[in-house]
Chains A and B, each alone.
Chain A
Amino acid sequence: MAKRKARGETIHGEGRDSLLMSKKWIVGLKVLAHAACLGPVAWLLWRLYLSVTTDPTALGPDPTHTVTFFTGRGTLRLLVITLAVTPVRRLIPKLSWLVRFRRLLGLYAFFYACLHLLTYVWLYAGWSWAAMVDDISQRRFITAGLAAWLMLLPLALTSTSWSIRKLGGKNWNRLHWLTYGAAITGAIHYWWGVKTGVKTPLTITVVLGILLLARPVLKYRAQSAGLRAQRAEGKVAS
């Protein structure tokens, strides 16, 4: 309890009022969040099990492609949701407690990204180093995908409260700006992966664009709101 309070003050610094929510609710919502993030993976594993046992079509006519898109889209969606936490909190201060879900969501984004990478390494490259080197050096969409994963890696590694203390809130915040880099690179990876002319990645790109624009807009609003808000701004995690 004391630990959580300390963390709340270090990173979030918006006063405990806005973060106050009954523990019961938080626990309940966290269980829901875990279920929402793990549910699709459980479904995928179940279909995978069926496809190798009784029903080869359980993952559709192109199972490799199904798994690839499932995990890739999952990563991008979770990244976007993670990035939405801060703007939503700024917009609706009553929802400040959402910040307690940000790490969880971010780590799940990384988890999905790892599954996505595993899909590539296993099903496309067949664990062949030669094939991977060939792809990474020659195919920009694979390079972009790997770059996005590499950006997420340090974020996942520094997701502990210990890292935040060690790095200091400001440095940690700066480092975690990489989330935007990863999301943008991920979106580029998506555009480069689809056939020219296909605009399916447009939706996620627009949402990401709005989130990118929301930050400076909300920051400006907060700044003009007064000194107190400004001070809080400096401490608020991205």
Chain B
Amino acid sequence: MLIGKKSDIPSSEITPKETYMNRRAFMAGAAAGLGAMAARRALGMADTGPGGLQKLTTVKSPLSTPGLTPTAFDAITHYNNFYEFGVDKGDPAKNAWRLKTRPWTVEVEGLVKQKKTFDIDALLKMRPLEDRVYRFRCVEAWSMVIPWVGYSLSELINQCDPLPSAKFIQFVSLDDSKEELLPWNAGISWPYVEGLRMDEAMHPLTLLTFGLYGDVLPNQDGAPVRVVVPWKYGFKSAKSIVKIKFVKGQPETTWNEMASNEYGFYSNVNPNRDHPRWSQKRERVIGAPIFRQLQPTLMFNGYEDQVAKLYTGMNLMKDY
């Protein structure tokens, strides 16, 4: 079968009332300044250099990867996979203004002593925000270097009092997307869900992320809060998180449900384990000149020393 999935009517071609309403709400909110600036940049109305967004106060971090030159801000914000806002790389930059990042809360539930709800502004103040430059490797064989801002996810987990029975953690991305605004040509189900094993989630490199290049996250990069797991393929780093669930067994994750033979639950960056349809040995460096774009992919995306111990005794070709 060529087209195995249900063929939806391209509802994206109609402009529903919701869009107008959102647009109006967006205009009203423009006076607030910040959201408008993010939107203006997303719409390409203002210059796209860093600094147009709200600045965050950050501190240095020993967990930042040294010796890397960050990818240009413009590429980081205009080459995105964020299917809620379209499947083309340029779509999220055009459409993510629809995302309302305030008010925003993150619910914590599942195997915890007590359910909790964190407000985004409380999360921002919970720990000092660190500058962490990480490699970012997409499963589609391209890579960037991104100067994220955030603190280790473990800091939040420690506040959640998970029960000893909690072995995995699931992230649920924004679930208030209007069904009719979701792109017709993205065959995945919503909301987007991702997950980690508890020890992976507790690893200091796993970053609860609020910003990049010293500013708050642009909408298209997963505002207002996301996780970044630098040794895994990019899709593991869930964006715009609204819920965190502590669970006993391996949780459902979007791409794994979609095609488990292509996207494993672990999805650690591994040059030896090819995607069934393309090689993972090399990667295209985003922003690099065309004839020097390819570079070899590193085991665990270059974080082998820090994370390999999490997987001792596992067959990484089988548990990909």
Contacts and interface: CB of A to CB of B under 8 A. Distances in A.
Interface stretch (B51-59, B74-82, B209-217): B74-82
A140 interface: yes
Contact of A64 (B259, B274, B277, B293): B293
A123 B294 contact: yes
A197 B290 contact: no
Contact of A61 (B262, B276, B286): B286
Task: Name the residue in A57, A126, A140 with the highest tally of chain B Cβ atoms < 10 Å from its Cβ.
Answer: A57
A41 B99 CA distance: 37
Given A138-B274, A198-B187, A57 B75 contact: yes
A197 B278 CA distance: 16
A196 B284 contact: no
B89 to A, nearest CB: 7
A205 B185 contact: no
Contact of B290 (A123, A198, A199): A123
A202 B290 contact: no
Nearest to A209: B2
Contacts of B182: none
Contacts of A192: 277
A197 B289 contact: no
Contacts of A198: 87, 185-187
Contacts of A138: 274
Contacts of B87: 198, 200
Interface in A47-66: 48, 51-52, 56-57, 59-65
A202 B287 CA distance: 29
A135 interface: yes
Interface in B138-179: 140, 142
A67 interface: yes
B234 to A, nearest CB: 12
A64 B258 contact: no
A191 interface: yes
Interface in A173-189: 187-188
A78 to B, nearest CB: 21
B288 to A, nearest CB: 7
Contacts of A67: 290
Contacts of A57: 72, 74-75, 287
A188 B186 contact: no
B5 A197 contact: yes
B142 A139 contact: no
Task: Name the residue in A52, A56, A199 with the highest tally of chain B Cβ atoms < 10 Å from its Cβ.
Answer: A199
Contact of A63 (B258, B259, B293): B293
B279 A139 contact: yes
Given A56-B287, A123-B290, A198-B187, A62 B279 contact: no
A205 B3 contact: yes
A220 to B, nearest CB: 25
B7 interface: yes
* Tier of interface size on chain B: 35 or more
Contacts of A48: 290
A90 B223 CA distance: 55
A52 B287 CA distance: 12
The majority secondary structure among interface residues of chain B is loop
B258 A197 contact: yes
Nearest to B78: A61
B267 to A, nearest CB: 13
Interface in B251-265: 258-259, 262
A76 B146 CA distance: 35
Interface in A127-150: 134-135, 138-141
Contact of B75 (A52, A61, A126, A195): A61
Contacts of A8: none
A191 B2 contact: yes
Contacts of B276: 139
Interface in A191-229: 191-193, 195-200, 202, 205
B73 to A, nearest CB: 11
A206 to B, nearest CB: 9
A52 B277 contact: no
B188 interface: yes
A62 B142 contact: yes
B291 interface: yes
Interface in B283-305: 284, 286-291, 293-294
Nearest to B140: A195
Given A197-B258, A198-B187, A126 B294 contact: yes
Task: Name the residue in A140, A191, A193, A195 with the highest tally of chain B Cβ atoms < 10 Å from its Cβ.
Answer: A195
B75 A193 contact: no
Task: Name the residue in A57, A62, A191 with the highest tally of chain B Cβ atoms < 10 Å from its Cβ.
Answer: A62
Given A61-B78, A64-B284, 11 more contacts: A56-B288, A60-B79, A61-B75, A62-B286, A63-B289, A63-B293, A197-B5, A197-B186, A199-B186, A199-B187, A205-B2
The 6 closest A-B pairs by CB, nearest first: A197-B187, A199-B185, A63-B290, A61-B75, A196-B259, A61-B79
11 contacts: A57-B72, A57-B287, A62-B79, A62-B286, A64-B293, A123-B290, A135-B279, A197-B258, A197-B259, A199-B7, A199-B186
